[in-house]
Amino acid sequence: MEDMSNHAGNRAMTIGTNLRRYREAKGLTQQAVWEAAAISKSSYTSYEAGRGMPSADKVVSLAQVLGTTTDELLLEPSEMVVSQDMLPILRRFEALPVDIRNQAKIALKGVLFGYEQEALR
């Protein structure tokens, strides 16, 4: 049987690492993030240190502030399943500046929506 306390600890470490990575990529201080996400200083610093796990609504707020998705905050890269032919494209995407990457995400969502609608016909 899996040790759930260890799993929760690993997940907290993952989100802590991801919070720091996305915060630094965006050039933000911890204070800028906790203020924009309406989270207390002590809560945010414990999340980033991997000592605490934010509630679902806080994860959504943090993802919005950091310009990323909840999956990207919660999951380790190895947990995200990506086909091998997509990896070079995703590497190029990740190399984009954050503001351009956010614009590209919006555009990609629109393109995918169009293809999904076409598939339903």
Please tell me the CATH code under which domain 1-77 is placed. 1.10.260.40
Task: Report which of 4, 12, 6 is spatially closest to residue 45, judged by C-alpha positions.
Answer: 12
User: Cβ distance 40 to 31 under 8 Å?
Assistant: no
Structure confidence by residue, pLDDT tens digits, 99-117:
898 899 889 888 988 888 8
Kindly report the pTM of this predicted structure: 0.60
Can you tell me whether residue 21 is helix, strand or coil? helix
Q: What is the DSSP letter of 102?
A: H
| Other C-beta atoms lying within 10 Å of the C-beta of residue 34 | 20
State the DSSP string of 41-84.
Answer: HHHHHHHHTTS----HHHHHHHHHHHTS-HHHHHS-GGGS---G
Boundaries of every domain in the chain: 1-77, 82-121
Token pair listed for 75: 């999951």
Structure confidence by residue, pLDDT tens digits, 46-93:
999 999 999 999 999 999 999 888 888 888 766 566 677 777 888 888
